[in-house]
């Protein structure tokens, strides 16, 4: 039986038989539906919800805050090696700014309280998780920079936090200045969550702010004086007019968080503590900040 | 005794933990940091039979992972104790936990796993394994009294016994509440208790009694060591009896039980069966008493563990099916490879990994480093599912990129200028930086490049010529200094040379230079050293003295980008040459402009020591010194 015989499958497939038409029809309709469901089932669940990105040096309390928001209690946590995304409801007294007018029974109100917290590892070697999200912040409504207010009192802790914060703010600024439209991208506010306020050595929020501002100025100065990157030279391009970008007002004078308003980023510093153990600390300030930007 | 057992997710949340003795969180944190993130201490692979372990602050940490679910199972115990059943416990608990909560763990956008009920399962496992180690180790029981006798005779000078002492001590410690001082006292009340329990033939009691006997068989040792020495040389059974007679109030009972234990010890081989019977018996009893839960748990637990193991075996044997099965499997595997969603095994990865290793070798990465990178990628990927529409190769690629980024990214920032200002503010001493390396890699050149960079930032720099060996070295530096003085006249900053000619001791010159700089208001001292072959012990040994006398704030090693496999040995030997407590602080990789994209030396050197690359030398001019850009290097290596 050759392929050109009358009863070969090829001839049958091309002949105007009702069964053939039916099968073709079924395939034509079902295939796209199946493909769609196969491809988009997973993607559809994750997209759409507003996201808060948690960054900050290791040991600040990011994962603890994530779990506190999710379940209301804080289990013990260790150094993270992988990012974590969880879906949470804004805890009770706090109301999302977008639905102040809604009544609590409204299903839209419930929906608006849902959001995603994206916890990233803070260890120096693993910050690429955070930076890759920052480079393309889809759905990111705000960035929470969790910092240990007690560790910031010491030189090493302060420098680490300041450098990380500098990089975060710089990538936000780059995103703004590189935007193609004249309106600029959607603004992303930053909350500096000064954690561990319950510790005796913790600095108050205002002191955290001034210390960080000062340290970021120093970081910026040192970056300006530092050697250039090896990138251009090694890839064989000319590195003569490799222009760097400086954080806040062209990198002149001392840095203040208010300078970030120019690029559509507000920076707030709020103290709190995600205390581990019996008494679940005091993070109402952070939650209300999240509510304001939800 | 086990101190803590924790089940942690890779994102850092402790899902479940059982603490017997509180252990600081920093032990597990540093395990995660040093083993998982920085990979400073390499765990041996799991094939070697035992689980990898890690030691910190007197604790031994053993762990196992469930990769696909992102779980780490960690057991922490005191290093003094030898727990043979930990591996088994880890395996069983992993199988149990994955079997019970695997579905919950897979839910996205949630970190909550409701595993409050895991406690009883774990306790049963513990009891069972501890019981097994008790009953299945009659050999150990025999050795314990033996060693106790040895210990006694050790008083008369048997050095071998000293070796056996620590584990025995540990046994005493672990038997809970009894401190060594109290042992004779506690052994008295506990033994009668164990008689009663043994009479009831309860398993816990039996176990207890056995342990107590062990304790007892040991504990008379210090007591009897005060006895007549002649008794010690007699057979152990007679000696046992005598000591018991002296200690115990109810001598007869004690003798009886002791005899029983002795027979137990003597014919160890048939004993396990008997013990099994007792176990069976007691299960019945327990259930009669109404503790049905335990039995149910047991059966359930075994079922889960078996199911998990069967799953594993199935996965292992799936490859070796029939002809039809294998061909279907091959087609399926091919399809999976294209579409994704394939669970990776070692065999899947082997070919691609080999290709990746070859690729790295072509990029001038030392073989050792390439192999290690591939192993780390393999560890990362085995047991993972490939995402949709990605092949194994591309998964491997992204994973390798991640591994390279991780290995090259420094843990702390390396801001030289900030360090200098911090040091200058905190004390009157200048900031001292010294440079070491093998011959001809460009130590003096890179030193003067750094000097130029510091001069641009208006520092007052003193260059110390501590290369008193090679002729022309001092003159070469003098020329550099003259050039730099010329250049800095316009820019500000000040530079001078400190030299003492040839043939003097380098360490002393360096120390003098620091003192001179302090007196004359220089705030940075750069010390050039003589090049030395890294495998010449005589030359390398002088570095330790140098490190002590000059006490540099930073020691940088210059390595050539041109060097191949030897880079690993160079980095390692130099890193070890400064004695205990002092290490290199960073590398300068010179001549990177001459190798194109074959920048593998960077990876090799960082791999060997875990010390970051600080600068790259990229040309012939004073300004050709660059910071490391991890992204670019990774791209070059993967291209």
Q: What's the complex ipTM? A: 0.76
Query: What does the buried/exposed string (b/e) look like for A33-63 if buried means 16 or more CB atoms within 10 Å of the residue's CB?
Result: eeeeeeeeeeeeeeeebbbbbbbbbbbbbbb
Q: How far apart are CA B259 and CA A293, in angstroms?
A: 78
Q: Which residue has the tokens 């003295």?
A: B545
What beta strand segments (E) does B374-457 contain? Answer: 431-437
Q: Are strands A114-119 and A84-89 parallel, antiparallel or unpaired?
A: antiparallel
* Residue-wise pLDDT tens digits, B481-513: 999 998 888 777 889 999 888 888 888 899 999
Q: How far apart are CA B163 and CA B157, in angstroms?
A: 13
Span B571-598, average pLDDT: 87
Sign of the C-alpha dihedral computed for residues B335, B337, B341 and B346 taken in this order? positive
Rounded to two decimals, the pTM is 0.72
Span B131-147, average pLDDT: 48
User: Are B11 and A83 a contacting pair at CB < 8 A?
Assistant: yes
- Mind telling me how many Å the CA of A66 is from chain B's nearest CA? 9
User: Are A86 and B111 a contacting pair at CB < 8 A?
Assistant: yes
Best of A86, A139, A234 to mutate (most B CBs within 10 Å, chain B): A234
Q: How confident is the model at residue B480 (pLDDT cuts 50, 70, 90)?
A: very high
User: Are A80 and B70 a contacting pair at CB < 8 A?
Assistant: no
Q: B125 in helix, strand or coil?
A: helix
What beta strand segments (E) does chain A contain? Answer: 51-55, 84-89, 114-119, 140-148, 190-195, 267-271
User: Are A45 and B411 a contacting pair at CB < 8 A?
Assistant: no
**Helices (DSSP H) in B233-270: which residue ranges?**
236-247, 251-266
Chain A contact for B415, CB < 8 A?
Answer: yes
What is the percent of chain B where pLDDT is above 70? Answer: 67
Nearest to B511, CA basis, from B550, B465, B546, B461: B550
Chain B contact for A155, CB < 8 A?
Answer: yes
Burial class (CB in 10 A: 0-12, 13-18, 19+), B495: buried
CA dihedral A19, A24, A29, A34 (to 10 degrees): 100
pLDDT of the residue at B525: 92
User: Are B417 and A78 a contacting pair at CB < 8 A?
Assistant: no
**Residue B196 structure tokens:** 């009663």
Nearest to B602, CA basis, from B554, B639, B562: B562
Chain A, 20 to 59: residues with Cβ < 8 Å from chain B are: 39, 42, 45-46
User: Are A123 and B70 a contacting pair at CB < 8 A?
Assistant: no
- Mind telling me how many Å the CA of A226 is from chain B's nearest CA? 8
Q: Is there a contact between B500 and B509 (Cβ–Cβ < 8 Å)?
A: yes
Q: Which residue has the tokens 């056995």?
A: B210
Q: Is there a contact between A227 and B453 (Cβ–Cβ < 8 Å)?
A: yes
Q: Is there a contact between A283 and A274 (Cβ–Cβ < 8 Å)?
A: yes
User: Are A230 and B629 a contacting pair at CB < 8 A?
Assistant: yes
- Mind telling me how many Å the CA of A5 is from chain B's nearest CA? 30
Span B153-162, average pLDDT: 40
pLDDT of the residue at B350: 86
Chain B, 159 to 198: residues with Cβ < 8 Å from chain A are: none
* Residue-wise pLDDT tens digits, B313-360: 665 555 444 445 556 666 666 666 656 666 777 887 888 889 999 999
- Which residues of chain A neighbour B619 with C-beta distances below 8 Å? 233
Transcribe B26-40 into DSSP letters. HHHHHHIIIIIIS--
* Residue-wise pLDDT tens digits, B378-396: 877 877 777 766 778 888 8
**Which of residues B346 and B614 earns the better pLDDT score?**
B614
Chain A contact for B339, CB < 8 A?
Answer: no
Neighbours of A256 (CB within 10 A): 17
Q: Are strands B554-560 and B431-437 parallel, antiparallel or unpaired?
A: parallel
**DSSP H/E element including A25:** helix A18-46
Q: How confident is the model at residue B30 (pLDDT cuts 50, 70, 90)?
A: confident
- Mind telling me how many Å the CA of B590 is from chain A's nearest CA? 12
Chain B, 385 to 404: residues with Cβ < 8 Å from chain A are: 388, 402
pLDDT of the residue at A45: 54
Q: How far apart are CA B599 and CA B603, in angstroms?
A: 8
Chain A contact for B410, CB < 8 A?
Answer: yes
**Structural Rg of chain B based on CA atoms:** 33
Neighbours of B79 (CB within 10 A): 14
CA triplet B396, B402, B406: central angle to 5 degrees?
145
- Mind telling me how many Å the CA of A11 is from chain B's nearest CA? 28
Chain B contact for A228, CB < 8 A?
Answer: yes
Q: B327 in helix, strand or coil?
A: helix
pLDDT of the residue at A277: 56
**DSSP H/E element including B576:** helix B566-576
Report residue A99 CA to chain centroid gap: 23
- Mind telling me how many Å the CA of B410 is from chain A's nearest CA? 7
Q: Nearest by CB to A119, which of B11, B405, B417?
A: B11
**Helices (DSSP H) in B271-415: which residue ranges?**
271-289, 292-318, 323-339, 346-362, 367-381, 392-408
**Residue B138 structure tokens:** 């009659």
Q: How confident is the model at residue B224 (pLDDT cuts 50, 70, 90)?
A: very low
With CA atoms as reference, the chain B residue closest to A162 would be B413
- Mind telling me how many Å the CA of A158 is from chain B's nearest CA? 12
**Residue B618 structure tokens:** 């990229």
Chain B contact for A76, CB < 8 A?
Answer: yes
**Least confident range of A14-18, A178-182, B221-225, B412-416:** B221-225
Q: With 50 as the cut, is the pLDDT of residue B80 above it?
A: yes
pLDDT of the residue at B335: 62
Q: Nearest by CB to B33, which of A66, A77, A79?
A: A79
Task: Give the best-scoring range by mean pLDDT among A271-280, B33-42, B276-285, B477-486.
Answer: B477-486
pLDDT of the residue at B194: 41
With CA atoms as reference, the chain B residue closest to A51 would be B109
Q: How far apart are CA B126 and CA B207, in angstroms?
A: 13
**Residue B426 structure tokens:** 């905190």
Q: How far apart are CA A256 and CA A269, in angstroms?
A: 12
With CA atoms as reference, the chain B residue closest to A124 would be B411
- Residue pLDDT tens, chain A, 294 long: 577 777 777 887 888 888 889 999 999 999 999 988 877 765 555 557 888 889 988 888 888 888 888 887 777 888 888 888 888 888 877 888 887 788 777 787 877 888 888 888 888 888 888 888 888 777 888 899 999 888 888 888 888 899 899 888 888 888 888 777 777 778 888 999 888 888 888 888 889 999 898 888 888 888 888 777 766 666 665 544 445 677 776 667 788 888 888 887 888 888 888 875 556 677 888 888 888 887
CA triplet B351, B354, B359: central angle to 5 degrees?
130
Best of A81, A89, A224, A229 to mutate (most B CBs within 10 Å, chain B): A81
Q: How far apart are CA B528 and CA B469, in angstroms?
A: 12
- Distance (Å) of CA A76 to CA B102, B122, B221, B267: 21, 19, 44, 48
Q: How far apart are CA B525 and CA B516, in angstroms?
A: 10
- Mind telling me how many Å the CA of A285 is from chain B's nearest CA? 23
With CA atoms as reference, the chain A residue closest to B13 would be A77
Q: B7 in helix, strand or coil?
A: strand
């Amino acid at each position: 039986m050759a392929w050109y015989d009358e009863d070969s499958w090829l001839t049958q497939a091309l002949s105007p038989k009702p069964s053939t038409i039916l099968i073709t029809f079924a395939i034509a309709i079902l295939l796209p539906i199946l493909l769609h469901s196969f491809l988009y089932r997973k993607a559809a669940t994750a997209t759409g919800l507003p996201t808060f990105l948690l960054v900050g040096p290791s040991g600040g309390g990011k994962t603890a805050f994530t779990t506190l928001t999710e379940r209301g209690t804080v289990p013990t946590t260790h150094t993270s090696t992988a990012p974590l995304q969880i879906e949470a409801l804004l805890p009770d007294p706090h109301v999302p700014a977008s639905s102040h007018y809604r009544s609590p029974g409204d299903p839209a109100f419930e929906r608006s309280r849902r959001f995603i917290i994206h916890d990233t590892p803070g260890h120096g070697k693993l910050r690429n998780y955070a930076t890759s999200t920052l480079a393309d912040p889809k759905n990111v409504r705000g960035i929470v920079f969790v910092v240990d207010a007690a560790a910031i009192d010491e030189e090493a802790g302060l420098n680490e936090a300041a450098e990380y914060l500098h990089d975060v703010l710089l990538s936000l600024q780059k995103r703004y200045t590189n935007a193609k439209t004249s309106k600029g991208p959607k603004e992303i506010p930053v909350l500096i969550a000064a954690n561990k306020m319950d510790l005796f050595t913790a600095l108050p929020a205002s002191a955290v702010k001034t210390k960080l501002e000062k340290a970021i100025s120093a970081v910026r100065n040192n970056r300006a004086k530092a050697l250039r990157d090896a990138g251009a030279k090694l890839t064989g391009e000319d590195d003569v007019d490799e222009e760097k970008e400086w954080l806040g007002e062209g990198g002149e004078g001392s840095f203040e968080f208010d300078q970030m308003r120019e690029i559509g980023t507000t920076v707030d510093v709020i103290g709190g503590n995600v205390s581990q153990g019996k008494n679940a600390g005091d993070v109402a300030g952070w939650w209300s900040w999240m509510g304001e930007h939800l | 005794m086990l101190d803590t057992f924790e089940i942690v997710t890779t994102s850092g949340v402790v899902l479940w933990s059982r603490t017997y003795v509180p252990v600081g969180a920093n032990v597990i944190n540093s395990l995660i940091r040093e083993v998982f993130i920085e990979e400073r201490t390499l765990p041996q692979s799991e094939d070697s039979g035992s689980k990898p372990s890690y030691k910190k602050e007197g604790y031994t940490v053993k762990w196992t992972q469930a990769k696909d679910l992102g779980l780490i199972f960690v057991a922490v115990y005191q290093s003094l104790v030898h727990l043979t059943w930990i591996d088994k416990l880890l395996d069983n608990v992993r199988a149990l936990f994955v079997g019970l909560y695997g579905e919950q763990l897979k839910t996205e956008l949630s970190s909550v796993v409701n595993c409050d009920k895991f406690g009883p399962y774990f306790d049963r496992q513990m009891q069972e394994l501890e019981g097994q180690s008790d009953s299945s180790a009659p050999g150990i029981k025999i050795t314990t009294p033996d060693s106790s006798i040895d210990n006694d005779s050790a008083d008369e000078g048997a050095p071998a016994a000293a070796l056996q002492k620590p584990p025995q001590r540990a046994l005493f410690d672990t038997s809970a509440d009894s401190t060594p001082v109290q042992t004779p006292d506690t052994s008295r009340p506990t033994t009668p208790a164990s008689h009663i329990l043994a009479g009831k033939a309860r398993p816990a009691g039996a176990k207890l009694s056995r342990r107590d006997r062990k304790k007892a068989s040991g504990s008379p040792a210090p007591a009897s060591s005060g006895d007549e020495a002649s008794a010690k040389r007699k057979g152990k059974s007679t000696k046992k009896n005598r000591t018991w007679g002296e200690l115990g109030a109810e001598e007869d009972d004690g003798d009886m039980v002791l005899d029983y234990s002795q027979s137990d010890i003597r014919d160890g081989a048939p004993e396990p069966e008997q013990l099994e019977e007792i176990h069976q018996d007691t299960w019945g009893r327990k259930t009669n008493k109404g503790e049905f839960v335990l039995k149910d748990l047991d059966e359930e637990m075994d079922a889960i563990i078996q199911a998990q193991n069967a799953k594993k075996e199935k996965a292992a044997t799936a490859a070796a099916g029939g002809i039809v099965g294998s061909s279907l499997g091959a087609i399926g595997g091919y399809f999976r490879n294209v579409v994704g969603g394939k669970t990776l095994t070692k065999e899947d990865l082997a070919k691609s990994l080999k290709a990746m290793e070859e690729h790295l070798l072509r990029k001038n990465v030392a073989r050792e480093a390439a192999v290690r990178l591939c192993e780390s990628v393999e560890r990362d990927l085995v047991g993972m599912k490939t995402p949709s529409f990605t092949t194994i190769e591309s998964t491997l690629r992204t994973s390798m990129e991640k591994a390279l980024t991780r290995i090259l990214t420094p843990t702390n920032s390396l801001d030289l200028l900030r360090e200098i200002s911090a040091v200058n503010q905190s004390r009157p001493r200048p900031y001292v930086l010294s440079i070491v390396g093998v011959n001809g890699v460009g130590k003096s050149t890179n030193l003067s490049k750094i000097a130029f960079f510091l001069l641009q930032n208006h520092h007052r720099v003193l260059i110390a010529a501590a290369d008193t060996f090679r002729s022309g070295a001092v003159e070469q530096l003098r020329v550099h200094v003259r050039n730099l003085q010329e250049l800095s006249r316009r820019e500000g900053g000040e530079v001078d040379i400190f030299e003492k000619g040839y043939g003097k001791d380098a360490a002393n010159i360096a120390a003098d230079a620091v003192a001179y700089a302090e007196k004359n208001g220089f705030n940075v001292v750069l010390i050039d050293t003589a090049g030395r072959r890294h495998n010449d012990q005589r030359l390398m040994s002088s570095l330790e003295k140098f490190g002590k006398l000059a006490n540099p704030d930073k020691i940088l090693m210059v390595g050539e980008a041109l060097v191949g496999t030897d880079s690993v040995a160079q980095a390692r030997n130099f890193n070890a040459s400064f004695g205990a407590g002092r290490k290199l602080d960073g590398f300068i990789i010179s001549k990177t402009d001459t190798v194109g994209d074959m920048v593998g030396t960077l990876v090799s050197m960082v791999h060997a020591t875990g010390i970051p690359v600080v600068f790259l030398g990229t040309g012939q001019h004073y300004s050709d010194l660059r910071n490391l850009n991890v992204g670019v290097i990774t791209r070059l290596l993967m291209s």
